Amino acid sequence: VQERLSKDSHHVHQLRELSTQRDGAFDRKVLSRFEVEERQDFDIRTICSKNDVYTGQLFSIEQCEQLNRMSEHYAYKQIGTINSGWTDQIYTLTAQHMACKDVPGMIPSTQIIMRQLIQELYGMFPEIVPGSICYENDGEPHLVKYNGKAKGTVAHTDNSEYKFITVNAILSGQDEYSGGGTYITVLDKTIKLSQGQVLIHLGDLEHAGADIKSGVRRLFIAFFACRWKDDLLNKPILENARDYEG
């Protein structure tokens, strides 16, 4: 019994350590001067080439769990601090969100993957000017959390003013929640992802979030700005649809 308690205590200690450490599941081999960085296979699949809708694998299950623990550890430490931790003060469409830059170690942990994803996006969208993709603002990327029975989001565009790119990854396992998914209006289809998978589409594509029936659904989202080789695509179309506060 004592041995079992010792093992359980060690396991809990490991989880607590993992929640606060900078890398963990994102550790990579330290490269020598002449070694080349290993490229990640994002396993990009085309859902609809006409409307530029794709899925892929952004994070491993272990990496998702790492990000979830990091965010909750940070949120716990911010209890009692107004507009810190999980907040509704950034985007009005989602109830709970958090900027990744606020979570200690999250940006450094994910930066290699996100840098490689940007390179992947140039191949997926060859009409984009090389070197022009960047985060839309300094609040990107960000996390979203839905608890229990939660309304999804109404049909909307992430940005109807400019032709930018949305990246939306699911951090929760399928056994952690029921409901959810992204409904794409033009396809009349709801896309459901497995843990670590990502949905990629242009920001002016109308979509909606399906209602959550139970559990906790966590998302990692990035809005990317870019410039297109056809300058007509770089001009404002309509009034910005994204709801910012501040």
Calpha distance 147→120 (Å, rounded): 32
Residue 161 has a pLDDT of 80
Output DSSP code: residue 153.
-
Least confident of 6-10, 148-152, 162-166, 242-246: 242-246
Q: Pseudo-torsion of CA 11, 13, 14, 19, nearest 10°? A: 130
Residue 37 has a pLDDT of 85
Residue 47 has a pLDDT of 97
Residue 104 has a pLDDT of 94
Higher pLDDT, 141 or 3: 141
pLDDT band at residue 27 under the 50/70/90 scheme: confident
Domains, in order of start, for the chain: 2-234 (2.60.120.620)
C-alpha to C-alpha distances, 220 to 6, 71, 140, 141, 239, nearest whole angstrom: 35, 11, 10, 7, 26
Residue 245 has pLDDT above 50, yes or no: no
This prediction's pTM: 0.83
Q: List strand residue ranges (DSSP E) for 124-164, in order.
A: 134-135, 142-147
Higher pLDDT, 35 or 182: 182
pLDDT band at residue 152 under the 50/70/90 scheme: confident
Least confident of 30-39, 87-96, 236-245: 236-245
C-alpha to C-alpha distances, 91 to 55, 88, 142, 174, nearest whole angstrom: 24, 7, 10, 25
Tell me if 29 sits within 8 A of 112, measured CB to CB: no
Residue 237 has pLDDT above 90, yes or no: no
Residue 200 has pLDDT above 70, yes or no: yes
Structural element, H or E, at residue 2:
helix 2-20
The DSSP bridge partners found for residue 63 are none
Residue 106 has a pLDDT of 95
